Protein backbone atom coordinates (compact mmCIF):
# COMPACT_ATOMS: atom_id res chain seq x y z
CA UNK A 1 0.00 0.00 0.00
CA UNK A 2 2.84 2.39 0.86
CA UNK A 3 4.59 1.74 -2.48
CA UNK A 4 1.32 2.34 -4.31
CA UNK A 5 0.97 5.67 -2.48
CA UNK A 6 4.51 6.67 -3.47
CA UNK A 7 3.79 5.82 -7.13
CA UNK A 8 0.63 7.93 -7.05
CA UNK A 9 2.51 10.83 -5.43
CA UNK A 10 5.31 10.52 -8.00
CA UNK A 11 2.77 10.69 -10.82
CA UNK A 12 1.15 13.69 -9.15
CA UNK A 13 4.48 15.49 -8.90
CA UNK A 14 5.26 14.79 -12.54
CA UNK A 15 1.88 16.21 -13.46
CA UNK A 16 2.46 19.26 -11.27
CA UNK A 17 5.88 19.83 -12.79
CA UNK A 18 4.28 19.84 -16.23
CA UNK A 19 1.78 22.56 -15.35
CA UNK A 20 1.99 25.71 -13.30
CA UNK A 21 -1.51 25.81 -11.84
CA UNK A 22 -1.36 26.73 -8.16
CA UNK A 23 -2.72 24.12 -5.74
CA UNK A 24 -4.92 25.81 -3.16
CA UNK A 25 -3.61 25.58 0.41
CA UNK A 26 -0.27 24.09 -0.66
CA UNK A 27 2.96 25.03 1.11
CA UNK A 28 6.64 24.81 0.18
CA UNK A 29 9.32 25.20 2.87
CA UNK A 30 12.84 25.85 1.55
CA UNK A 31 16.30 25.92 3.11
CA UNK A 32 15.39 23.60 5.99
CA UNK A 33 17.40 20.91 7.78
CA UNK A 34 15.20 17.79 7.66
CA UNK A 35 15.59 15.19 10.41
CA UNK A 36 14.49 11.88 8.89
CA UNK A 37 14.32 8.35 10.30
CA UNK A 38 17.61 7.43 8.64
CA UNK A 39 19.64 10.63 8.50
CA UNK A 40 19.74 14.40 8.15
CA UNK A 41 19.06 16.27 4.91
CA UNK A 42 20.82 19.60 4.59
CA UNK A 43 19.42 22.23 2.21
CA UNK A 44 16.11 20.41 2.38
CA UNK A 45 12.76 21.28 0.89
CA UNK A 46 9.36 20.18 2.18
CA UNK A 47 6.20 20.31 0.08
CA UNK A 48 2.76 20.00 1.66
CA UNK A 49 -0.53 19.54 -0.17
CA UNK A 50 -3.72 18.90 1.72
CA UNK A 51 -2.92 16.85 4.82
CA UNK A 52 0.11 15.09 3.32
CA UNK A 53 3.78 15.63 2.56
CA UNK A 54 4.41 15.38 -1.18
CA UNK A 55 8.07 16.38 -1.13
CA UNK A 56 10.86 15.97 1.44
CA UNK A 57 14.31 15.91 -0.10
CA UNK A 58 17.59 17.71 -0.73
CA UNK A 59 16.75 20.65 -3.00
CA UNK A 60 20.09 20.25 -4.81
CA UNK A 61 19.30 16.71 -5.96
CA UNK A 62 15.77 16.98 -7.30
CA UNK A 63 13.68 19.11 -9.62
CA UNK A 64 10.50 20.70 -8.33
CA UNK A 65 8.14 23.39 -9.50
CA UNK A 66 7.68 26.27 -7.05
CA UNK A 67 4.91 27.72 -9.16
CA UNK A 68 2.37 25.08 -8.09
CA UNK A 69 2.63 26.01 -4.41
CA UNK A 70 0.35 28.71 -3.05
CA UNK A 71 2.79 29.69 -0.30
CA UNK A 72 6.60 29.46 -0.44
CA UNK A 73 8.77 30.19 2.63
CA UNK A 74 12.51 30.29 3.17
CA UNK A 75 13.24 28.95 6.66
CA UNK A 76 16.88 30.07 6.64
CA UNK A 77 18.37 26.83 7.97
CA UNK A 78 15.74 26.01 10.62
CA UNK A 79 15.27 22.38 11.62
CA UNK A 80 12.23 20.25 10.71
CA UNK A 81 11.26 17.31 12.93
CA UNK A 82 8.49 14.71 12.61
CA UNK A 83 5.72 15.06 15.17
CA UNK A 84 6.64 13.12 18.31
CA UNK A 85 4.29 10.39 19.52
CA UNK A 86 3.62 9.81 23.23
CA UNK A 87 2.55 6.22 23.89
CA UNK A 88 0.85 4.88 27.03
CA UNK A 89 -0.27 8.32 28.21
CA UNK A 90 -3.20 9.77 30.15
CA UNK A 91 -3.15 13.10 28.30
CA UNK A 92 -6.74 14.12 27.53
CA UNK A 93 -7.99 11.79 30.27
CA UNK A 94 -6.43 13.55 33.24
CA UNK A 95 -6.41 17.21 34.24
CA UNK A 96 -6.15 17.95 37.98
CA UNK A 97 -5.14 14.99 40.13
CA UNK A 98 -6.80 16.49 43.23
CA UNK A 99 -10.16 16.81 41.44
CA UNK A 100 -11.73 13.40 40.85
CA UNK A 101 -14.20 14.72 38.27
CA UNK A 102 -11.31 15.54 35.92
CA UNK A 103 -9.84 12.01 35.99
CA UNK A 104 -11.22 9.70 33.30
CA UNK A 105 -8.38 7.22 32.82
CA UNK A 106 -9.67 4.42 35.09
CA UNK A 107 -12.96 2.57 35.54
CA UNK A 108 -14.01 0.20 38.31
CA UNK A 109 -13.68 -3.53 37.78
CA UNK A 110 -10.92 -6.05 37.14
CA UNK A 111 -11.59 -7.22 33.58
CA UNK A 112 -13.01 -4.53 31.28
CA UNK A 113 -11.64 -4.77 27.72
CA UNK A 114 -14.85 -3.15 26.46
CA UNK A 115 -14.00 0.16 28.19
CA UNK A 116 -12.74 2.72 25.63
CA UNK A 117 -10.76 5.92 26.07
CA UNK A 118 -12.04 7.06 22.67
CA UNK A 119 -15.05 9.05 23.85
CA UNK A 120 -13.48 10.13 27.15
CA UNK A 121 -10.69 12.11 25.46
CA UNK A 122 -10.93 15.84 26.30
CA UNK A 123 -9.59 18.14 23.58
CA UNK A 124 -10.13 21.17 25.85
CA UNK A 125 -7.47 20.06 28.32
CA UNK A 126 -5.11 22.91 29.22
CA UNK A 127 -2.28 20.40 29.40
CA UNK A 128 -2.47 19.62 25.67
CA UNK A 129 -1.02 22.95 24.37
CA UNK A 130 1.87 22.77 26.88
CA UNK A 131 2.79 19.29 25.63
CA UNK A 132 2.29 20.19 21.97
CA UNK A 133 4.66 23.16 22.20
CA UNK A 134 7.54 20.73 22.82
CA UNK A 135 6.84 18.83 19.61
CA UNK A 136 4.58 16.04 20.87
CA UNK A 137 1.83 16.13 18.25
CA UNK A 138 0.17 12.74 18.76
CA UNK A 139 -0.77 10.85 21.90
CA UNK A 140 -2.02 7.36 22.66
CA UNK A 141 -4.64 7.93 25.36
CA UNK A 142 -4.44 4.75 27.45
CA UNK A 143 -6.64 3.38 30.24
CA UNK A 144 -5.29 2.39 33.66
CA UNK A 145 -6.32 0.23 36.63
CA UNK A 146 -7.67 -3.29 36.87
CA UNK A 147 -6.16 -6.32 35.18
CA UNK A 148 -7.54 -5.63 31.71
CA UNK A 149 -7.99 -1.85 31.64
CA UNK A 150 -9.67 -1.34 28.25
CA UNK A 151 -8.69 -0.04 24.83
CA UNK A 152 -6.55 2.97 23.93
CA UNK A 153 -6.85 5.27 20.90
CA UNK A 154 -4.42 7.55 19.06
CA UNK A 155 -5.19 11.28 18.85
CA UNK A 156 -3.76 14.40 17.27
CA UNK A 157 -3.14 17.14 19.83
CA UNK A 158 -5.48 19.45 17.97
CA UNK A 159 -9.22 19.38 17.36
CA UNK A 160 -12.58 20.64 18.57
CA UNK A 161 -13.62 17.26 19.96
CA UNK A 162 -12.51 13.64 20.03
CA UNK A 163 -14.10 12.99 16.61
CA UNK A 164 -11.84 15.68 15.10
CA UNK A 165 -8.73 14.57 16.95
CA UNK A 166 -8.85 10.78 16.62
CA UNK A 167 -6.28 9.24 14.27
CA UNK A 168 -6.77 5.56 15.11
CA UNK A 169 -9.54 4.29 17.35
CA UNK A 170 -9.16 1.25 19.61
CA UNK A 171 -5.57 0.50 18.57
CA UNK A 172 -5.10 -2.05 21.37
CA UNK A 173 -6.16 -3.57 24.70
CA UNK A 174 -4.10 -2.90 27.85
CA UNK A 175 -3.38 -5.80 30.22
CA UNK A 176 -1.68 -5.22 33.58
CA UNK A 177 0.20 -8.45 34.26
CA UNK A 178 -0.29 -9.81 37.81
CA UNK A 179 3.14 -9.06 39.24
CA UNK A 180 5.04 -11.78 41.06
CA UNK A 181 5.89 -11.12 44.69
CA UNK A 182 9.55 -11.72 45.49
CA UNK A 183 10.53 -13.02 48.91
CA UNK A 184 13.71 -11.95 50.66
CA UNK A 185 15.00 -15.52 50.75
CA UNK A 186 17.00 -16.54 47.67
CA UNK A 187 15.40 -19.97 47.87
CA UNK A 188 11.91 -18.52 47.65
CA UNK A 189 12.00 -15.97 44.82
CA UNK A 190 9.48 -17.52 42.43
CA UNK A 191 6.38 -18.16 44.50
CA UNK A 192 3.14 -16.40 43.86
CA UNK A 193 0.63 -15.57 46.55
CA UNK A 194 -2.98 -16.74 46.32
CA UNK A 195 -4.27 -13.43 45.01
CA UNK A 196 -1.85 -13.49 42.09
CA UNK A 197 -2.74 -17.09 41.30
CA UNK A 198 -6.43 -16.21 41.32
CA UNK A 199 -5.87 -13.33 38.92
CA UNK A 200 -3.82 -15.49 36.58
CA UNK A 201 -6.60 -18.07 36.62
CA UNK A 202 -9.19 -15.38 35.77
CA UNK A 203 -6.97 -14.15 32.96
CA UNK A 204 -6.63 -17.62 31.46
CA UNK A 205 -10.37 -18.22 31.75
CA UNK A 206 -11.33 -15.02 29.94
CA UNK A 207 -8.90 -15.69 27.07
CA UNK A 208 -10.07 -19.31 26.72
CA UNK A 209 -13.64 -18.05 26.65
CA UNK A 210 -12.72 -15.42 24.04
CA UNK A 211 -11.22 -18.09 21.76
CA UNK A 212 -14.28 -20.31 22.19
CA UNK A 213 -16.52 -17.31 21.50
CA UNK A 214 -14.51 -16.59 18.34
CA UNK A 215 -15.20 -20.10 17.05
CA UNK A 216 -18.97 -19.94 17.60
CA UNK A 217 -20.62 -19.74 14.14
CA UNK A 218 -23.80 -18.19 15.55
CA UNK A 219 -23.66 -16.10 18.68
CA UNK A 220 -27.03 -16.31 20.40
CA UNK A 221 -26.14 -13.64 22.92
CA UNK A 222 -23.57 -10.86 22.52
CA UNK A 223 -20.90 -10.77 25.22
CA UNK A 224 -19.29 -7.31 25.40
CA UNK A 225 -16.14 -8.50 27.18
CA UNK A 226 -15.46 -11.37 24.78
CA UNK A 227 -16.38 -9.24 21.75
CA UNK A 228 -13.84 -6.60 22.81
CA UNK A 229 -11.05 -9.21 22.89
CA UNK A 230 -11.64 -10.43 19.34
CA UNK A 231 -9.44 -7.76 17.64
CA UNK A 232 -6.53 -8.89 19.84
CA UNK A 233 -7.00 -12.50 18.75
CA UNK A 234 -7.34 -11.75 15.03
CA UNK A 235 -4.41 -9.28 15.01
CA UNK A 236 -6.31 -6.12 14.09
CA UNK A 237 -5.43 -4.65 17.52
CA UNK A 238 -2.36 -4.96 19.71
CA UNK A 239 -2.24 -6.42 23.21
CA UNK A 240 -0.22 -4.06 25.42
CA UNK A 241 1.05 -6.14 28.34
CA UNK A 242 2.29 -4.01 31.24
CA UNK A 243 5.03 -5.98 32.99
CA UNK A 244 8.29 -4.93 34.64
CA UNK A 245 10.08 -7.73 36.46
CA UNK A 246 12.10 -10.25 34.50
CA UNK A 247 9.98 -13.27 35.50
CA UNK A 248 6.77 -11.37 34.72
CA UNK A 249 8.15 -10.49 31.26
CA UNK A 250 8.84 -14.18 30.62
CA UNK A 251 5.36 -15.21 31.78
CA UNK A 252 3.71 -12.48 29.69
CA UNK A 253 5.54 -13.57 26.52
CA UNK A 254 4.62 -17.22 27.01
CA UNK A 255 1.01 -16.23 27.75
CA UNK A 256 0.81 -14.31 24.47
CA UNK A 257 2.23 -17.31 22.57
CA UNK A 258 -0.13 -19.71 24.33
CA UNK A 259 -3.22 -17.86 23.14
CA UNK A 260 -1.91 -16.94 19.70
CA UNK A 261 -1.83 -13.18 20.29
CA UNK A 262 -0.49 -11.81 17.01
CA UNK A 263 0.63 -8.33 18.13
CA UNK A 264 1.90 -8.42 21.74
CA UNK A 265 3.70 -5.30 23.01
CA UNK A 266 5.49 -5.10 26.35
CA UNK A 267 4.98 -1.87 28.29
CA UNK A 268 7.16 -0.77 31.20
CA UNK A 269 9.71 -3.58 30.93
CA UNK A 270 12.05 -2.00 33.51
CA UNK A 271 13.88 -5.29 34.08
CA UNK A 272 13.95 -6.60 30.49
CA UNK A 273 17.69 -6.20 29.87
CA UNK A 274 18.07 -9.84 30.92
CA UNK A 275 15.37 -10.97 28.45
CA UNK A 276 16.79 -9.60 25.19
CA UNK A 277 17.02 -13.00 23.49
CA UNK A 278 13.42 -13.86 24.39
CA UNK A 279 12.08 -10.54 23.09
CA UNK A 280 14.10 -10.73 19.87
CA UNK A 281 13.17 -14.36 19.22
CA UNK A 282 9.47 -13.55 19.50
CA UNK A 283 9.74 -10.19 17.72
CA UNK A 284 8.09 -8.30 20.58
CA UNK A 285 8.38 -4.49 20.65
CA UNK A 286 8.85 -2.65 23.92
CA UNK A 287 7.45 0.64 25.27
CA UNK A 288 9.72 1.69 28.12
CA UNK A 289 8.49 3.72 31.05
CA UNK A 290 10.16 7.08 31.67
CA UNK A 291 13.95 7.09 31.73
CA UNK A 292 14.21 9.99 34.17
CA UNK A 293 13.72 7.89 37.29
CA UNK A 294 15.66 6.10 39.99
CA UNK A 295 16.84 2.48 39.50
CA UNK A 296 14.36 -0.21 40.53
CA UNK A 297 16.85 -2.17 42.64
CA UNK A 298 19.27 -0.89 45.30
CA UNK A 299 22.25 -2.63 43.65
CA UNK A 300 21.65 -1.09 40.21
CA UNK A 301 23.93 1.63 38.89
CA UNK A 302 21.96 4.85 38.19
CA UNK A 303 23.03 4.80 34.52
CA UNK A 304 21.48 1.34 33.90
CA UNK A 305 18.10 2.99 33.41
CA UNK A 306 19.52 5.39 30.83
CA UNK A 307 21.42 2.62 29.00
CA UNK A 308 18.41 0.31 28.63
CA UNK A 309 17.24 1.74 25.25
CA UNK A 310 20.75 1.23 23.81
CA UNK A 311 20.80 -2.41 24.94
CA UNK A 312 17.39 -3.08 23.40
CA UNK A 313 18.10 -1.28 20.11
CA UNK A 314 21.48 -3.03 19.81
CA UNK A 315 19.67 -6.36 20.18
CA UNK A 316 17.42 -5.50 17.22
CA UNK A 317 14.27 -4.84 19.26
CA UNK A 318 11.78 -2.10 18.34
CA UNK A 319 11.76 0.35 21.25
CA UNK A 320 9.62 3.37 22.06
CA UNK A 321 9.47 5.65 25.09
CA UNK A 322 6.60 6.73 27.31
CA UNK A 323 6.47 9.06 30.29
CA UNK A 324 4.45 6.86 32.62
CA UNK A 325 4.65 7.71 36.32
CA UNK A 326 3.95 10.57 38.72
CA UNK A 327 2.87 13.87 37.15
CA UNK A 328 2.60 11.93 33.90
CA UNK A 329 0.21 14.02 31.81
CA UNK A 330 1.85 17.41 32.34
CA UNK A 331 5.32 15.87 32.46
CA UNK A 332 4.93 14.31 29.02
CA UNK A 333 6.21 17.59 27.55
CA UNK A 334 9.65 16.33 28.66
CA UNK A 335 9.42 13.16 26.56
CA UNK A 336 11.87 14.44 23.87
CA UNK A 337 14.48 15.06 26.56
CA UNK A 338 14.30 11.44 27.74
CA UNK A 339 15.15 10.46 24.16
CA UNK A 340 18.06 12.90 24.41
CA UNK A 341 19.19 11.13 27.57
CA UNK A 342 19.15 7.81 25.70
CA UNK A 343 21.34 9.44 23.04
CA UNK A 344 23.78 10.62 25.71
CA UNK A 345 24.07 7.02 26.93
CA UNK A 346 24.91 5.27 23.70
CA UNK A 347 22.28 5.78 21.00
CA UNK A 348 22.86 7.63 17.76
CA UNK A 349 20.76 10.75 17.16
CA UNK A 350 18.75 8.86 14.53
CA UNK A 351 17.96 5.95 16.87
CA UNK A 352 17.14 8.36 19.70
CA UNK A 353 14.75 10.30 17.44
CA UNK A 354 13.08 7.07 16.32
CA UNK A 355 12.28 6.21 19.96
CA UNK A 356 9.56 8.87 19.93
CA UNK A 357 8.65 9.03 16.23
CA UNK A 358 9.01 6.12 13.81
CA UNK A 359 9.14 3.30 16.38
CA UNK A 360 5.87 4.32 18.11
CA UNK A 361 4.28 4.52 14.64
CA UNK A 362 5.48 0.96 13.92
CA UNK A 363 4.06 -0.30 17.21
CA UNK A 364 0.72 1.33 16.38
CA UNK A 365 0.77 -0.13 12.85
CA UNK A 366 0.80 3.41 11.43
CA UNK A 367 4.33 3.61 10.00
CA UNK A 368 3.03 4.13 6.46
CA UNK A 369 1.33 7.38 7.58
CA UNK A 370 3.24 8.69 10.60
CA UNK A 371 6.60 8.77 12.31
CA UNK A 372 8.94 10.39 9.79
CA UNK A 373 9.26 13.23 7.31
CA UNK A 374 8.73 11.43 4.00
CA UNK A 375 6.62 11.93 0.89
CA UNK A 376 3.31 10.14 1.28
CA UNK A 377 3.01 10.60 5.04
CA UNK A 378 0.80 12.93 7.04
CA UNK A 379 2.11 16.49 7.27
CA UNK A 380 2.47 16.47 11.07
CA UNK A 381 5.77 18.10 11.91
CA UNK A 382 7.33 21.10 13.63
CA UNK A 383 10.11 23.62 13.10
CA UNK A 384 12.69 24.87 15.58
CA UNK A 385 16.21 26.33 15.57
CA UNK A 386 18.13 23.55 17.32
CA UNK A 387 18.16 20.00 18.65
CA UNK A 388 14.63 19.08 19.72
CA UNK A 389 16.00 16.33 22.02
CA UNK A 390 18.05 18.82 24.05
CA UNK A 391 16.24 20.87 26.70
CA UNK A 392 18.55 23.82 25.99
CA UNK A 393 17.40 24.10 22.38
CA UNK A 394 14.16 22.09 22.32
CA UNK A 395 10.63 23.31 21.76
CA UNK A 396 8.62 24.09 18.67
CA UNK A 397 8.55 27.50 17.01
CA UNK A 398 5.98 26.48 14.38
CA UNK A 399 3.72 23.40 14.21
CA UNK A 400 1.71 21.72 11.48
CA UNK A 401 -0.76 18.92 12.19
CA UNK A 402 -2.04 17.13 9.09
CA UNK A 403 -1.09 20.10 6.93
CA UNK A 404 -2.70 22.78 9.10
CA UNK A 405 -0.50 25.19 11.04
CA UNK A 406 -1.53 25.37 14.70
CA UNK A 407 -0.60 27.65 17.57
CA UNK A 408 2.47 27.08 19.73
CA UNK A 409 1.05 29.22 22.53
CA UNK A 410 -0.20 27.84 25.85
CA UNK A 411 -1.37 28.97 29.29
CA UNK A 412 2.12 28.76 30.79
CA UNK A 413 3.55 31.07 28.12
CA UNK A 414 0.65 33.44 28.72
CA UNK A 415 1.44 33.59 32.46
CA UNK A 416 5.10 34.17 31.65
CA UNK A 417 4.18 37.15 29.45
CA UNK A 418 1.81 38.51 32.10
CA UNK A 419 4.45 38.64 34.83
CA UNK A 420 7.23 39.79 32.54
CA UNK A 421 5.02 42.73 31.58
CA UNK A 422 3.93 43.41 35.14
CA UNK A 423 7.50 43.82 36.34
CA UNK A 424 8.85 45.39 33.12
CA UNK A 425 11.31 42.54 32.59
CA UNK A 426 11.07 42.36 28.82
Give the model's pLDDT for residue 195: 75
Could you give the angle at the alpha carbon of 407 between the alpha carbons of 48 and 387, nearest 5°?
Answer: 75
Give the model's pLDDT for residue 268: 92
Q: Hey, is 267 helix, strand or coil?
A: strand
Beta-ladder partners of 226: none
Q: Is the pTM of this model over 0.75?
A: yes
Give the model's pLDDT for residue 125: 94
- With a cut of 50, list the residues of the chain below it in pLDDT: 6, 15-18, 183-184, 186, 189
Give the model's pLDDT for residue 8: 53
- C-alpha distances in Å from residue 102, one per residue of 132, 252, 397: 20, 32, 30
Strands (E), 281-325: 286-288, 319-321
Quickly list H helices, 186-236. Answer: 194-215, 224-234
Interval 377-404: pLDDT, tens: 999 999 999 999 999 999 999 999 999 9
Give the model's pLDDT for residue 187: 52
Give the model's pLDDT for residue 18: 47
Q: What is the edge-to-edge ordering of all strands in the sheet holding 381-384? A: 52-58, 39-49, 23-36, 69-82, 381-384, 398-401, 404-406
The answer to whether 113 and 225 are in contact (CB under 8 A) is yes
Q: For domain 84-370, is the CATH number 3.20.20.140?
A: yes
Give the model's pLDDT for residue 184: 44
DSSP symbol at 270:
T
Distance (Å, rounded) from C-alpha 178 to C-alpha 170?
23
Give the model's pLDDT for residue 5: 55
Give the model's pLDDT for residue 182: 53
Distance (Å, rounded) from C-alpha 207 to C-alpha 219?
17
Give the model's pLDDT for residue 257: 95
Q: Hey, is 51 helix, strand or coil?
A: coil
Nearest to 70 by CA among 113, 99, 27: 27
Q: Which residues of 318-344 are buried (b: 16+ CB within 10 A; e: fewer)?
A: bbbbbbbeeebbbbbbbbbbbbbbbbe
Domain ranges of the chain: 84-370
Amino acid sequence: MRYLSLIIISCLLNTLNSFSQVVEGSLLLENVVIHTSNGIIENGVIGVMGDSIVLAADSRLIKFNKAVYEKVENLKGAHAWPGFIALNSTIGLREVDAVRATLDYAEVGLIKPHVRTLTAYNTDSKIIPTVRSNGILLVQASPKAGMISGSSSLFNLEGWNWEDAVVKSDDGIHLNWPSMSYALSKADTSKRDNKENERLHELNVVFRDAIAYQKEPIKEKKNLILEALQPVLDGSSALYIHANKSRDVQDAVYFAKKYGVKRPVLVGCDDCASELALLKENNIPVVLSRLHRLPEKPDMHPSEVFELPTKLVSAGITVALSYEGDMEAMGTRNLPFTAGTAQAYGLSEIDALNLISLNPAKILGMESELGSLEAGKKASFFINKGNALDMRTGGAERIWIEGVEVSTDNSQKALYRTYMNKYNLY
